[in-house]
């Protein structure tokens, strides 16, 4: 009995504690709660959002609810479809990179990590899209008839003529030139007569109808003095490094496209067909052998052409009876190639070596094989022969005359008239050897 009585007393004491101590404690805890919006103590009903936001009943009734999470919003950070959006939801979902609307609906984002921006469905469906990345970014402009954003405008291929972005699809490359060209420039603009680049407003049209881009114009050989300096530089290399010394007097002329056509006896159709030519005589203008070069050639083309024609002159002096075009043109191409290598004009050299036509292309490859097998002396020896032997084998290399490698000098012209110059050599030419060769 005592044990049961003791147990009852213990339970009674516990109940008294709950009545006199726990009820005041709960009231005290409720009194310490305050509303996260108005900061006032909460004495009645309250509402909890998340883990740490408590809102009193008065604030819930006073402020509109966020359309995303339902939290009463004192000052909306954004709106969506006419309703407020709280700052937490704006931070959580982000904004459209185009219109700045909070992204509570469908949005679109690139798979490229370098483009983390997101765009709302409304902008994607109603605004112009960048042709390259497919998004309605800010600052869009039109280039070559298509929309492009500022970011893509920096990174995409640009036309080397007009500088505009090249739309996806067709674009053009020109052999041996750097850069890409848009369809509009390549098909609608005039092309440089020398390098074939589409020419924009910074190019120029020559008096004879040819068109020159700014790059070719910047190195063009136009004045006779400049041409003679380049000729002298070429001749020094041919004489000292290749043993190709011309002993007799010859003329040098710098002519435009119309005069070139006239000298060659063809109609001037405005097309640039010859960069230069060599003739053993051009009576009555020149009773001596003559090298004729087209004016305003880019310097690299001038070096190639003048070396080619000088090789004709040297070969004519050594062997005026050779009529085999493959030998004549192939040797001249080979000589020009050596000069281009020396000048490190590799783009021009690549064009020369890529030719596949019968006389210039196959002729050059033939002499290149001779040079690989027998060296430069083998090439010079073959150039001095009249024609290929009947059996197709390379003829024996004739001895090289001692005076072939002696140096001589290009003297300044005593008189220049109509861009013609007389280059004095050791002895006058024998009129019996005069024969035209182009």
pLDDT tens by residue, 73-109: 888 888 888 888 888 888 888 888 888 888 888 888 8
Decide if pLDDT at 156 tops 60: yes
Q: How far is CA 414 from CA 251, 264, 280, 293, 314, in A?
A: 12, 27, 21, 20, 23
Separation between Cα atoms, residue 148 and residue 140, nearest integer Å: 6
Average pLDDT, integer, range 208-237: 91
Geometric angle at alpha carbon 313, from 296 and 426, rounded to 5°: 110
Task: Tell me which of 104-108, 181-185, 342-346, 403-407 is least confident.
Answer: 403-407
What's the pLDDT score for residue 284?
Answer: 63
Best mean pLDDT range from 29-38, 80-89, 425-434: 80-89
Angle at which helices 299-318 and 346-354 cross, to 10°: 60
For residues 427 and 371, which has the higher predicted lDDT (pLDDT)? 371
19: pLDDT confidence band, cut at 50, 70 and 90?
very low
**Confidence tier at 285 by pLDDT (50, 70, 90):** low
Collapsing DSSP to helix, strand or coil, 293 comes out as strand
Q: Which residue has the higher pLDDT, 422 or 403?
A: 422
Of residues 312 and 24, more confidence is placed in 312
Query: Can you give the residue ranges of every domain in the chain?
Result: 32-93, 95-156, 171-218, 224-433
Checking if the pLDDT of 163 tops 60, the result is yes
270's tokens: 């405005």
pLDDT given for residue 425 in this prediction = 36
311-360: pLDDT as tens digits: 999 998 888 778 888 999 999 999 999 999 999 999 999 999 998 888 89
Q: Which two tokens stand for residue 160?
A: 């080397």
368: how many CB neighbours lie within 10 A of its CB? Answer: 16
User: What Å distances lie between residue 29 and 23, 44, 55, 75, 238, CA to CA?
Assistant: 10, 13, 16, 30, 106
Distance CA 77, CA 282 (A): 90
Phi-psi sector, 266: left (phi>0), alpha (psi -120 to 50), beta: beta
């Amino acid at each position: 009995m005592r044990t049961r009585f003791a147990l009852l007393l213990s339970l009674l004491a516990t109940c008294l504690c709950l009545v006199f101590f726990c009820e005041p404690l709960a009231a005290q805890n409720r009194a310490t709660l305050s509303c996260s919006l108005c900061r006032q103590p909460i004495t009645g009903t309250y509402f909890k959002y998340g883990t740490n936001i408590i809102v009193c009943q008065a604030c819930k009734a006073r402020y509109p609810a966020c359309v995303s999470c339902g939290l009463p919003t004192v000052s909306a950070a954004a709106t969506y479809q006419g309703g407020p959006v709280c700052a937490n939801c704006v931070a959580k979902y982000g904004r459209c990179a185009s219109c700045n609307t909070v992204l509570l609906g469908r949005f679109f984002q690139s798979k490229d990590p370098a483009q983390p921006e997101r765009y709302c469905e409304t902008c994607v469906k109603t605004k112009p899209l960048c042709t390259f990345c497919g998004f309605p970014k800010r600052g869009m402009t039109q280039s070559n008839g298509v929309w492009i954003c500022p970011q893509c405008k920096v990174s995409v291929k640009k036309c080397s003529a007009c500088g505009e972005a090249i739309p996806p699809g067709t674009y053009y490359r020109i052999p041996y030139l750097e850069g890409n060209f848009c369809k509009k420039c390549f098909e609608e603009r005039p092309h440089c007569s020398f390098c074939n680049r589409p020419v924009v407003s910074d190019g120029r049209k020559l008096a004879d109808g040819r068109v020159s881009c700014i790059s070719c114009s910047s190195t063009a050989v136009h004045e006779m003095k400049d041409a003679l300096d380049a000729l002298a530089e070429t001749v020094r290399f041919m004489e000292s490094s290749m043993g190709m010394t011309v002993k007799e007097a010859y003329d040098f002329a710098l002519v435009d496209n119309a005069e070139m056509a006239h000298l060659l006896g063809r109609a001037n159709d405005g097309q640039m067909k010859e960069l230069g030519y060599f003739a053993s005589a051009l009576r009555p203008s020149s009773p001596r052998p003559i090298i004729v070069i087209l004016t305003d050639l880019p310097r690299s083309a001038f070096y190639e052409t003048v070396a080619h024609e000088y090789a004709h002159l040297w070969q004519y002096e050594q062997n005026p009876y050779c009529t085999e075009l493959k030998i004549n043109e192939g040797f001249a191409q080979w000589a020009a190639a050596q000069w281009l290598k020396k000048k490190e004009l590799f783009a021009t050299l690549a064009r020369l070596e890529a030719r596949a036509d019968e006389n210039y292309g196959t002729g050059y490859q033939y002499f290149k094989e001779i040079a690989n097998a027998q060296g430069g002396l083998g090439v010079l020896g073959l150039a001095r022969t009249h024609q290929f032997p009947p059996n197709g084998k390379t003829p024996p290399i004739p001895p090289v005359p001692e005076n072939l490698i002696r140096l001589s000098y290009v003297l300044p012209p005593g008189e220049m008239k109509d861009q013609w110059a007389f280059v004095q050599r050791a002895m006058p030419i024998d009129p019996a050897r005069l024969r035209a060769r182009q």
